[in-house]
Amino acid sequence: MLPAQLLPTVAGIAQGVSIGVLSGVTHNAFFISYFENPSDEVLESLVGMNFIGALFGCLLGGHFADTCGRRPALISGTALVSVGCALAALPLISSTSLVLLFMSRAIIGLGFGVVWVVVIIYLAETASSSDRGTQEATFQLAAAVGILMVYALSYQVLPTRISGWKVCLASQLPPALLLLIVVLMLPESPRWLAMRGDLEGARRELGNLRGTQLVEEEMSLIIATCKAEPMIGWLGVASMLTQKNTLMALAMMAWFPLTGIDIITQYAPEIFGESDRYLDGAAKESQDLVYTIWVGLALSLASLVPIFTIDTLGRRPLLTFGGSCLVGSLACLAVVHSSGLKSSVASVLQVAPVLTFIVGFGAIAPVFLVLPVEVLETNVRAKIIALSWAVMNGVDYIVTASFLTLRQTLGLSGTFALYLVFNLLFGTLIWIHAPETLGCELDAECTKKLTCGLGNAQSGDVIAKAA
């Protein structure tokens, strides 16, 4: 079905535009002048407000996805995103204040918190086992493309146009509205309906997703692996916090922001800007924005790698490769900035490590998205993923709202060294415990026990046992 195929692309682009839009805006001379030189603390809080809103949105998304269904939860979350983006576009037609921008960022974050959780779950539950990882990787690639798009727009309009920052903020609205249109046309998740005992509804929606091909075979698999039972409540989630699957999902989503990716996406001009201090005004701002374009382009290209490998090589090879790149590049960055070199020289020498970092993150990001949903059962998946993403957004707020302060107190060298420690700790923990889930069906025994090695052959085994 076309809307379901479009969902990861449209949702990813909308997310990427929202994430990347403030990278250039908060450093724009016209923006800073309009709001009478807000402090670094205010700008950090504005950047981080998206993640605070998303923290609560994730919890709401997990609740509504279980009680109302995946599709209604997606519709409500996307509607919130559209409202927040409409508020962000108001400066184009009227005067505004930072309070309005804080409100829009909070509402956008709240909506995207719902959307992020439910999209990841919906893609996992509606994709086949042979392309589940590719679907999640497409979502990550589209997010990188969205970041690149808004970086390119910022480069074009911010340095020379007084209203450039207003145009950038308003650019969030078109992809949000497109996402709302796509979501309105989606079928419900057949697996959610089967869990509710509505097998006819599940069969109907599966037909809408797949057409008439192999519906009965896949329906037999869903019936075999997804028994009708009530969704777990929040009190039940508390009792599961000691289980290995739950702890791994929480640890992976905490590691996501602690890789340090958002200090690169949100503060690229601050990191690379040392080498162009001899420039003034619009020329310096334009050069700083070039750095963001290179970051966005590198992230987009790096995100292509998992598209072709996650459902062929598997999850663990990407985890190993990406984690190694993250650790090695952060070590190099810490050394470069502690070497006593001139800041302009350090800025040039850090280009290769930053690009290596982005390649590593591009390889590992889809693993963060797909592994947790694969090892959790349908009746607990939404709420535990919601809790995991709430943790991620809370940590991401701390990361984005503390970078400028850390740079002042620890310097760039100390800041990169701190994130090196985070990556060593979480990378080692996840590498030891993460299973290989390539080819595993959701709710199958191999994912429950974290010992998947059966591949696609397991699908037939499950059906045979059910028969």
Per-residue pLDDT, 74: 95
Confidence of residue 133 (pLDDT cuts 50, 70, 90): confident
Q: Is residue 407 part of a domain?
A: yes
The CATH number assigned to the domain holding 415 equals: 1.20.1250.20
Q: Is residue 213 part of a domain?
A: no
Judge contact between 254 and 12, C-beta under 8 A: no
Q: What is the pTM of this model?
A: 0.79
Q: Is residue 210 part of a domain?
A: no
| Mean predicted confidence (pLDDT) in 131-154 | 89
Confidence of residue 57 (pLDDT cuts 50, 70, 90): very high
Q: Is residue 205 part of a domain?
A: no
Of 36-40, 228-232, 422-426, which one has max mean pLDDT?
A: 422-426
The range of the structural domain enclosing residue 156 comes to: 2-186+232-434
The phi, psi pair for 318, rounded to 5°, reads: -65, -40
Helix (H) / strand (E) element for 38: namely: none
Using CA of residue 414, residue 415, residue 416, residue 417, what is the dihedral sign? positive
The tokens describing 144, both together, are 């990188």
Q: How many CB atoms lie within 10 A of CB 238?
A: 10
Per-residue pLDDT, 298: 87
Angle between helices 244-258 and 351-375 (to 10 degrees): 160
Per-residue pLDDT, 1: 55
Q: Is residue 67 part of a domain?
A: yes
- SS3 state of residue 436: coil
List pLDDT tens digits, range 428-440.
999 998 888 887 7
User: How many domains in the chain?
Assistant: 1
Q: Is residue 295 part of a domain?
A: yes
Q: Is residue 449 part of a domain?
A: no
Per-residue pLDDT, 273: 62
Q: Is residue 194 part of a domain?
A: no
